[in-house]
A and B are shown apart, each in its own frame.
Chain A
Amino acid sequence: EAQVTQNPRYLITVTGKKLTVTCSQNMNHEYMSWYRQDPGLGLRQIYYSMNVEVTDKGDVPEGYKVSRKEKRNFPLILESPSPNQTSLYFCASRMTGVETQYFGPGTRLLVL
């Protein structure tokens, strides 16, 4: 089944404790991205990757890092999480040149 998976789905952590949210897709998509969604707002893009070893900042990259060592994986790293990073995070992937994005189930993060 074609899908985007994220882990963990729920995470509670404390300020400053490094964490990684994994994202994996099995559709051989070149393009992957991370979004955050806060109440009443649409999705805001954090980082995106056009292909392996190619990443770029989205609209709200501060406090986040990403890597794209393999085509299928695109982890999101919070080196020193802060409470303002409490949010719902979505990973997405698509083929280059095609708008249709496939989203993961989301990761709900609470930073205390």
Chain B
Amino acid sequence: LAKTTQPISMDSYEGQEVNITCSHNNIATNDYITWYQQFPSQGPRFIIQGYKTKVTNEVASLFIPADRKSSTLSLPRVSLSDTAVYYCLVGDKNYQLIWGAGTKLIIKP
């Protein structure tokens, strides 16, 4: 199972674009990259998933370079409600994933 490394915490301000980078040097050919968001005392919520290049949905964008050894979650124009912990996970869709400590994102007014 590929291990991921992401910053422990980040701060930003309302209205800014936030980019959270995740490193996964040992990603395997069949692995996908998935990001979850978790608010305090709630279960994680799926944000976005990708395999390569760029994926965009109504919430975020995910940028994956050609070597796939890292990925960047981009949150456009954040608000206070985006304050949460963000988890980057890497794995095959049929196998168990390892959850790290995530990135605690704090949005300030």
Contacts and interface: CB of A to CB of B under 8 A. Distances in A.
State whether these chains interact. Answer: yes
Interface of B: 32, 34, 36, 41-46, 49, 87, 89, 91, 93-94, 96-102
B43 A97 contact: no
Given A42-B87, A48-B96, A101 B46 contact: yes
Interface residues of A, number: 25
A40 B44 contact: no
Nearest to A33: B96
A44 B87 CA distance: 13
B43 A92 contact: yes
Contacts of B102: 42
A108 B41 contact: yes
Interface string A57-95: 010000000000000000000000000000010101000
A98 B93 contact: yes
A43 B44 contact: yes
B101 A40 contact: yes
Nearest to A98: B93
B105 to A, nearest CB: 15
Interface of A: 4, 35, 40-45, 48, 58, 88, 90, 92, 96-106, 108
A-B complex: 3 closest residue pairs judged by Cβ atoms: A103-B43, A42-B99, A43-B99
A90 B99 contact: no
A40 B101 CA distance: 6
A97 B42 CA distance: 25
A100 B91 CA distance: 12
Most chain A CB neighbours (cut-off 10 Å) among B34, B36, B43: B43
